[in-house]
Structure formats: structure tokens, C-alpha cells
Structure 1
Amino acid sequence: MTDQAAAIEIGHPAPAITLPRDGGGETSLSDFLGKRVVVYFYPRDDTPGCTIEAVEFSGELPAFASAETVVIGISKDSVKSHDKFRDKHQLGVILLSDEAGDVAERYGVWGEKSMYGKTFMGIERATFLIDREGRIARIWRKVKVAGHADEVLAAARAI
């Protein structure tokens, strides 16, 4: 986790996001002012945990929409990878490509990870709920995938 992660706190303005998206074009966080926004960071397209998370968020999209909440997933995968991932699993969430990792760094989710005794740099699975005014309302770090979408939905309905 970077020093910037400490700067991201509940009540603070959410760091700006403008990135290429699945299907082409760009999406900015500012496009959704007046709505709640869920921004979830995930390590990699089409891996087991990331697929479960994306499918669960996609399955809850009608409920998120009724709560006036947009769901955005961000990883370092390319737009082409996102398009394949979206099509393979019929995903409805917006998928943004942060290939340079700049947004992940601003949100403090890029850092050292370890798996099977090896250390490497990667994205920490984390979710940020942003209120209608563009401020951080809730933060989940080191997310456990099962049931996470329901927990985030409940939080979005509560703000």
C-alpha cells in the first residue's frame, strides 16, 4: 500500500478517474455526479475470485440501479481483455482499464502482494463507495469476494 492510501479517507473527495472502458470510449467518475458510485479494484480478468466478484456485482445491477448507484470495476487489464471477460460471463458492470496503474496508485490499492511464497506487485482487491457529491462514503480493503456485492449494496442503500 502506498502513502497515498493513507490520504484516502471517508468524507474526502474521491480521486478523479478517467479511463478507457470496455466496448470503447472513456468513462470518468465525474460522469456520475448526483449518483452513488461503487468503484471496485480487482487483480485480473477471468480469474476465479475476480470472475465471482464481477458476476455477483452484475447480478445485482438492477438493485444497484434502483438505489441510484453505478458499479465500476477497475484492473490493469487491457480494454480487449475486458471485452472478452465481459462477453464470456455476460457482465453488466462498467470495466475500466488502468494499464498504467495510475488510478490504482491514487486509490492506494497498488502494492506488494505474496502468493505461494513469491512476492510481486499487484492490485489489492478493494472497494470504494462514493456518495452523490463525489466523496468517499465507505472503504473495503482486502475484500473477501463471497457476499461482498450484497454488503456493498446494503451500504449504498444506507447513504
Structure 2
Amino acid sequence: MTERLQPGDTAPAFTLPDADGKPVSLADHAGRKVIVYFYPAALTPGCTKQACDFTDNLDLLTAAGYDVIGVSPDKPEKLAKFREKENLKVTLVGDPDKKVLEAYAAFGEKKLYGKTVTGVIRSTVIVGADGKVEHAFYNVKATGHVAKLIKDLKV
């Protein structure tokens, strides 16, 4: 398992397909701050709540200089269904081989209902305009996370 990212680390570069199958790279956002959030699966209750919260606050975050990218192990087709069904405005990318999830330490052992399982660890990494990690939050809650993030980032 990859070490968790710490402030000051260089954010791992990535290029992943979005809901339309178009490549999205972290490098595309150079010069802007990026909120990269990792979630287990599109079209599930917690992940829907979180994606809707990011969508509802997207204008506020964008105005404060943040772009938002949601990463899950889903394929683009499922992400497109998720986006359409929930009217999402955030950029969603798929990482079916989990290489980016692993690079960000957002995949590995976690507790689920008291059992240890291997899966996506709900996480959010704030990448500065210089490509360095500013904050890394692991094991975040789906509900209330975006509000807490806005408060922590003083947006």
C-alpha cells in the first residue's frame, strides 16, 4: 500500500477518461488549485450525496480558484449515467485499473461495518497551483464533507 500523501508532496500526475471517454489530466489544471476526491462507486447513496454536494458548491469553489475532479474505479459509461441521473457538474473520471487510486493512497484496506476489506478509501486531496499537495484528507464521510472542506479551506 502506498504511503498517504502529506502536505508538500508532489501530487502524482494522472490522465484518466472522463464520463465522455475524453482524457483529463491533472496537468490540464496547472496554475489552478484542484480538489481531487476519491469515492468508491457511482450511483450509490453516499457517493451520490457527495457528488451532489460538490456540484451544489461548484460555483463557490470555482470562484475561489478550485477545480474539482472526482475519481472512482468506474468505467466512463457508468460515470455518464451517474452524471445524467444526478445532473452533476463536477468532472468525473474513471480509474478501473486503480493505479491513480493507489498512487494517492486512496485504495487499500479499510474498515467496513467492522470488517477489514480492500477497496476505495473515501479521500480528498487538495493540490495547489504548483502541483504540490496542500491537504490530504483520508476516510472522510460522504455526508457533510464538502461543507467541512469549504470551512477548512476558508472559501
Pairing partner for 1:48 from 26, 40, 45: 45
Q: Distance in 2 between matches of 1:138 and 1:114?
A: 23
The correspondence of residues 58-137 of structure 1 with structure 2, limited to 5 A, is 58-116=55-113, 119-137=116-134
| Unaligned runs of at least 5 residues, structure 1 | none
Q: Distance in 1 between matches of 2:43 and 2:90?
A: 14
- Give the total of aligned pairs: 155
Deviations 1:48-106 (A, max 9, x none): 11000000000001001101110000000110000000000000110010000000111
Identity %: 37
| Structure 2 match to 1:5 | 3
Q: Distance in 1 between matches of 2:153 and 2:93?
A: 21
Pairing partner for 1:140 from 114, 137, 142: 137
Q: 1:30 to 1:155 in 2, by over 3 A?
A: farther
Q: Distance in 2 between matches of 1:28 and 1:154?
A: 27
Choose 117-126 or 13-22, whichever is displaced more.
Answer: 117-126
CA contact (8 A) 1:67 1:157 kept: no
Q: 1:63 to 1:111 in 2, by over 3 A?
A: same
CA contact (8 A) 1:112 1:122 kept: yes
Q: Normalising by structure 2, what TM-score?
A: 0.93
Q: Normalising by structure 1, what TM-score?
A: 0.91
Structure (1/2) with the larger helix percentage: 1
The one-letter amino acid paired with 1:60 is N
| Structure 2 match to 1:31 | 28
Q: 1:46 to 1:132 in 2, by over 3 A?
A: same
Structure 2 counterpart SS, 1:144: coil
Deviations 1:109-147 (A, max 9, x none): 111234356543210000000111011001111101222
What root-mean-square deviation, in Å, do the aligned CA atoms of Structure 1 and Structure 2 show? 1.5
Q: Distance in 2 between matches of 1:113 and 1:95?
A: 23
Q: Distance in 1 between matches of 2:145 and 2:18?
A: 23
Choose 48-57 or 119-128, whichever is displaced more.
Answer: 119-128
CA contact (8 A) 1:79 1:97 kept: yes
